[in-house]
Structure 1
Amino acid sequence: MPGAIGTAGAALLPWLGVALLGAVVLAIVFARRMLFLVLIPVVVWAVAIAPSLPTPATTSSAAPLTIVSQNVRAHSGGAGASAEELAASGADVIALVELDGDSLGAASEALAERYPHSYAVGTVGVWSRYPIVAAEPLTLGLDWKRALRVAVEGPESEIALYVLHAASVRPGHQDGRDTMLAGLARTVTADPADALVVVGDFNAASTDPAMNALRTGLDWVRPTDGSLGLTWPAAFPLTRIDQVFARGVTVLSSTTVHAGNSDHLATKTVVDG
Structure 2
Amino acid sequence: MLAAAAVCCAAPMALHGWIPNAGVNAGSLVQTLLPWTGLAVPVLLGLAAVRRSRAVAVAVLAPAVVWVTLFGGALTDKRAGGGDLTVVSHNVDEANADPAGTARALAGADADVLALEELSDASAAVYSRELAAAYPHHAVIGGVGLWSRHPLADVKAVPIMPWTRAMRATVRAPSGPVAVYAAHLASVRVSAAGFTTGRRNEAARALAAALRLDAAPRLVVLGDFNGTYQDDALAPVTSRLRSAQREAGDGLGFTWPAAFPMVRIDDVLVRGMTPRAAWTLPATGSDHLPVAATLSR
TM-score scaled by length of structure 1: 0.91
- The 3-state SS of whatever aligns with 2:68 is helix
- C-alpha deviation, 1:177, in angstroms: 0.5
Shift of the 26–169 alpha-carbon distance from structure 1 to 2, 3 Å rule, reads same
Distance 2:215 2:73 in 1: 26
State the match for 2:215 in structure 1: 192
Regions of 4+ moved over 4 Å? 50-55
> Which residue identity does 1:197 align to in structure 2?
V
State the match for 1:263 in structure 2: 287
Moved more, 151-160 or 21-30: 21-30
State the match for 2:197 in structure 1: 174
- C-alpha deviation, 1:2, in angstroms: 5.1
Gaps of 5+ in 2: 1-18
State the match for 1:242 in structure 2: 266
* Pairing 1:1-273 to 2, within 5 Å after superposition: 1=19, 3=21, 4-28=25-49, 30-49=52-71, 56-60=78-82, 64-140=84-160, 142-171=161-190, 172=194, 173-222=196-245, 224-272=248-296
> Which residue identity does 1:184 align to in structure 2?
L
Distance 2:289 2:42 in 1: 27
- C-alpha deviation, 1:37, in angstroms: 2.6
Shift of the 2–261 alpha-carbon distance from structure 1 to 2, 3 Å rule, reads farther
- The 3-state SS of whatever aligns with 1:161 is strand
Distance 1:162 1:191 in 2: 11
- C-alpha deviation, 1:206, in angstroms: 2.9
> Which residue identity does 1:67 align to in structure 2?
V
Determine which structure has greater relative contact order: mean sequence separation of CA pairs < 8 Å that are 6+ residues apart, divided by chain length.
Answer: 1
1:74, 1:100 within 8 Å by CA — same for their partners in 2? yes
1:68, 1:95 within 8 Å by CA — same for their partners in 2? yes
> Which residue identity does 1:9 align to in structure 2?
V
Q: Which has the larger radius of gyration?
A: 2
CA deviation map 1:184-206 (0-9, x unaligned): 22221331111111111110023
Shift of the 53–205 alpha-carbon distance from structure 1 to 2, 3 Å rule, reads farther
Gaps of 5+ in 1: none
- C-alpha deviation, 1:54, in angstroms: 5.2
- The 3-state SS of whatever aligns with 2:59 is helix
2:119, 2:144 within 8 Å by CA — same for their partners in 1? yes
CA deviation map 1:75-133 (0-9, x unaligned): 32322221211111111111110011111111011012221111111110011000002
Distance 1:146 1:168 in 2: 11
- C-alpha deviation, 1:26, in angstroms: 3.0
2:74, 2:249 within 8 Å by CA — same for their partners in 1? no
2:245, 2:267 within 8 Å by CA — same for their partners in 1? no
- C-alpha deviation, 1:210, in angstroms: 1.5
Distance 1:102 1:12 in 2: 34
Moved more, 159-168 or 208-217: 208-217
Moved more, 200-209 or 219-228: 219-228
Q: What is the percentage of aligned positions where both structures have the same residue?
A: 37
Distance 1:226 1:88 in 2: 21
> Which residue identity does 1:145 align to in structure 2?
T
- The 3-state SS of whatever aligns with 2:189 is coil
> Which residue identity does 2:201 align to in structure 1?
D
Distance 2:249 2:241 in 1: 21
Distance 1:8 1:68 in 2: 27
Shift of the 45–149 alpha-carbon distance from structure 1 to 2, 3 Å rule, reads same
- C-alpha deviation, 1:46, in angstroms: 3.3
